[in-house]
């Protein structure tokens, strides 16, 4: 997916969240005083990931992205689009057959136990093939930066990993709440 598509999706999501004049007025005041850090993980079909050991297949099987935006109320706003083929739409990953796991966790280990312990997005409706949104309380962008977004299919007590993408900082804020830039390529 191109950066332009990602940015358009971000703007559309922000407009949907602040669609009322009262909310927009409050956001304007907040934006003058604060900065919202943003991070992204981008899946590119066919791109390699080296986070699996002892495996022959280590390429992403789908395209998509997840965006992490730190909000003003100590919440992490997670949105994105995962273009996974042959998966039923409008069903949470945990309710699919077989079940899928969508987690954010350490990159050095995509074993079953490690994936299960990470930030869990399995309960999100529309997680595949439609834009999705989830809000997680008491999390910050810094909690997910340099971790990996992992999508896997449950196969018994193991996972068949479909994709891994590292979370990279897209917008940083300094102590004076000024946007410094990005290390996202």
- 144: Cβ contacts below 8 Å, ≥ 6 apart: 39, 68, 76, 104, 119, 167
Residue 9, pLDDT above cutoff 80: no
Tokens 């989830």 label which residue? Answer: 134
Number of H-type helices and E-type strands within the chain? 3, 10
Q: State both tokens at 68.
A: 């992490």
Q: Give the side-chain half-sphere CA count within 13 A for 174.
A: 5
Q: Could you give the domains of the chain? A: 3-181 (2.60.40)
Quick check: pTM over 0.85? Answer: no
Q: From 91, 59, 67, select the one nearest 13 (Cα to Cα).
A: 67
pLDDT of residue 84: 84
The span from the CA of 103 to the CA of 158, in Å, is 15
Reported as a single tens digit per residue, the pLDDT across 148-181 is 998 888 877 777 888 899 999 998 886 654 455 5
- What are the tens digits of pLDDT across the range 104-153? 998 887 777 777 788 989 888 888 888 999 999 999 999 999 999 988 88
What integer pLDDT is reported at residue 25 of this predicted model? 45
């Amino acid at each position: 997916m191109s950066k332009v598509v990602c940015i358009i999706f971000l703007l559309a999501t922000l407009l949907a969240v602040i669609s009322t004049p009262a909310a927009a007025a409050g956001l304007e005041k907040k934006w003058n005083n604060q900065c919202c850090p943003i991070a992204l993980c981008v899946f590119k079909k066919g791109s390699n990931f080296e986070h699996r050991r002892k495996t022959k297949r280590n390429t992403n099987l789908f395209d998509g992205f997840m965006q992490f935006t730190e909000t003003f109320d100590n919440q992490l706003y997670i949105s994105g689009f995962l273009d996974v083929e042959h998966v039923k739409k409008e069903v949470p990953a945990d309710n699919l057959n077989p079940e899928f796991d969508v987690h954010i966790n350490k990159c050095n280990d995509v074993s079953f136990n490690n994936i299960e312990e990470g930030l869990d997005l399995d309960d999100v409706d529309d997680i595949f093939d439609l834009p999705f949104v989830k809000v997680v309380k008491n999390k910050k962008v810094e909690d997910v930066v340099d971790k990996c977004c992992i999508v896997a299919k449950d196969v018994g007590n193991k996972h068949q990993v479909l994709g891994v993408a590292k979370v990279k900082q897209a917008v940083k804020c300094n102590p004076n709440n000024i946007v410094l830039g990005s290390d996202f390529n």
